[in-house]
Structure 1
Amino acid sequence: MAISDSLGDLRTLEIEDGCIEYRIRGGGPGPAVVFLHGIIANADVWRGVVSDLASDHRCVAPDWPLGGHRLGMRPGTDFSLPGIARMVERFLVAAGLDQVVLVANDTGGAVAQYVVSAHPQRIAGLVLTPCDAFDNFPPPPIRHLRLFGRTPWGLWLLAQTLRWRFVQRLPIAFGLLTERPIPAAIMRSYTGPLRDYASTRRDFAALVRQIHPHYTIDVAPRLASYRRPVLLAWARERRRFFPLDHAHRLAAIFPDARVEIIEDSGPFVTEDQPAAVAAAIRRFAAGQVEGWQGFM
């Protein structure tokens, strides 16, 4: 679970799928911003962005049940991308959030593509940072998760090895995601729940069984139906974990989209360049998103 006080007050919201822990901070004239993170991560991904953006936006950062969460979902929860997108919609409804800016990274970006294609009514604008798209789900360096995450012994082994710093920095773990090491306490918040909670391991195993590129390939052409503003704040990263070409391909599908490059960063742009990401979101929200409604 997220540990960063800079994310704001910890709250819990019950939806059909289970309880979601989230943090909320800030206010001001700008639209509310809701964040989506990726697998084996949580709201701590957004701590630097929220610290900056909360001066003029209400920032809502949930721990989505993608492996870095503490509260398990109900048995039978749909962990496919369409299922998680429905979870996001249910959260927005239950929280009274409307006309928000949805900001996503990594696997959360794949979820966000389904949100705006199937449940666009509450999304006034979309910001995608480097994320899964097209046939890149999951990216090649971490495709071993589809094997290790399916079985109890494989998931146990994965959870145990991720406690070691040298493993975390390997290319098959977090090593390709940032240009700079992630603080040790934050890494524990990302990887600890898989070790500590059987319900987290159960949820993650259900999620891994649903990871397949047919989802991201299927949703891509339907993104053309989302006609609100879109920003693709992408890294010009050296390792092509999430290729910059995918940002331009996505921008060509959305009717109203542009690409902004985040320099000197790995795919976790919020870890490497949080100020640049916050500035890009602020410009985007101020210049393009209208008709928003704050946190109710």
Structure 2
Amino acid sequence: MKKVDLGAGTIDYVDTGGDGPVVLLLHGLLMDPTLWSGVIDELGAGYRCVAPLLPLGAHVRPLGPGADLTMRGITAIVADLMERLDLHDVTVVGNDTGGVVVQLLMADRNPRIGKAVLVSCDAFDNFPPGLSGKTVVFTGKLPPSVFGAMMWQLRLKVLRRMPFTFGWLTKRGDAVTARWLHPLQTRPGIRPDTVRVLRGIAANRTLLVDIEDGLRAFDRPTLVVWAEEDRVMPPEHGRRLAALLPESRLVEIADSYTLVPLDQPAELAASIRDFVVIPSPEAADRDASPR
């Protein structure tokens, strides 16, 4: 992984490089960029895939007490990363909590975004989402040391597969989710950051309701991809998002829970590939401009 120093601190990220369309892949709470490994492999060398390790609990470098770790603060980190790497006409993709960041970038009309992809994510009043989201946000009330002790218990597969942890998030990705928990279990400095993220979510539960008007005004192409069997992010929300966004299309994927990049990476990558090859308005305008 590469690293970049941003205003909030040092962020690690994957960057496959190349001159192809830029696809920025954002993970969720207690996850890291390996969420996207299968998708990146399926997209292949024709795309420049950038996947940051966001400070959402599986990161390895503490950002410290000065960093804004609310969801708007995390969104500012992503915007800063795009600027620092000089990324343009970006297709920004978010799954789970990563979709919250994508929605905030959309509502802010970030000029570096050409297209957006929302993959089974928090939406409307489902924030924090479902039993698992509400449980982990509730644990954020604990002191960091006690929170860390609770995360230590998740080294047991039987606990990771419970509905209130990762059991309803992925059908096939238990080995990956076990690795995501290592930083919290072994690096005490990560725990205060994570608790601050969780407390920020708890303090602003209407965040996604409040930005509905901003989403309604987002006029760039958007792909909404939802797991048909999702138990955490209601499939109805995928349909509502597709109806709300002016330039959107909906794809529903079978045999998957919320973490579609783990359960169905090939099908998700195919949907992204088909979507990205359509020129965005910004790219079309640039191609039509005199040179």
Shift of 1:145: 1.6
Match of 1:173 among 165, 189, 192: 165
Q: Deviations over 1:214-242 (max 9, x none)?
A: 111111221122111000011101x5310
Match of 1:95 among 73, 81, 85: 85
Q: So what's the TM-score if we normalise by structure 1?
A: 0.90
Q: Contact 1:32/1:59 (CA < 8 Å) preserved in 2?
A: yes
Match of 2:258 among 264, 267, 291: 267
User: Amino acid of the residue matched to residue 153 of structure 2?
Assistant: T
Q: Contact 1:26/1:59 (CA < 8 Å) preserved in 2?
A: yes
Q: Does 1:50 align with 2:37?
A: no
User: Amino acid of the residue matched to residue 230 of structure 1?
Assistant: T
Distance 2:282 2:44 in 1: 19
SS at match of 1:210: helix
SS at match of 2:158: helix
Match of 1:31 among 3, 21, 39: 21
User: Amino acid of the residue matched to residue 125 of structure 1?
Assistant: K
**1:233 alignment partner in structure 2:** 225
Distance 2:261 2:17 in 1: 18
Over the matched positions of the two proteins, sequence identity in percent amounts to 36
**1:150 alignment partner in structure 2:** 141
Moved over 4 A (4+): 290-293
- In the TM superposition, 1:1-296 aligns within 5 A as 10-27=1-18, 30-142=20-132, 143-152=134-143, 153-180=145-172, 182-184=173-175, 186-212=176-202, 213-237=205-229, 239-289=230-280, 291-292=282-283
Q: So what's the TM-score if we normalise by structure 2?
A: 0.91
Q: Contact 2:137/2:199 (CA < 8 Å) preserved in 1?
A: yes
Distance 1:137 1:14 in 2: 30
User: Amino acid of the residue matched to residue 222 of structure 2?
Assistant: V
Cα RMSD for the two superposed structures: 1.6
Q: Deviations over 1:154-183 (max 9, x none)?
A: 412321111111111111110001222x25
Q: Which runs of 5+ in 2 are unaligned?
A: 287-291
Distance 1:121 1:165 in 2: 43
User: Amino acid of the residue matched to residue 282 of structure 1?
Assistant: R
Distance 1:98 1:235 in 2: 29
Q: Deviations over 1:178-220 (max 9, x none)?
A: 222x252x23331011112222111100000011421111112
Task: Work out the number of aligned pairs and report it.
Answer: 280
Q: Greater CA deviation, 268-277 or 114-123?
A: 114-123
Q: 1:101 to 1:137 in 2, by over 3 A?
A: same
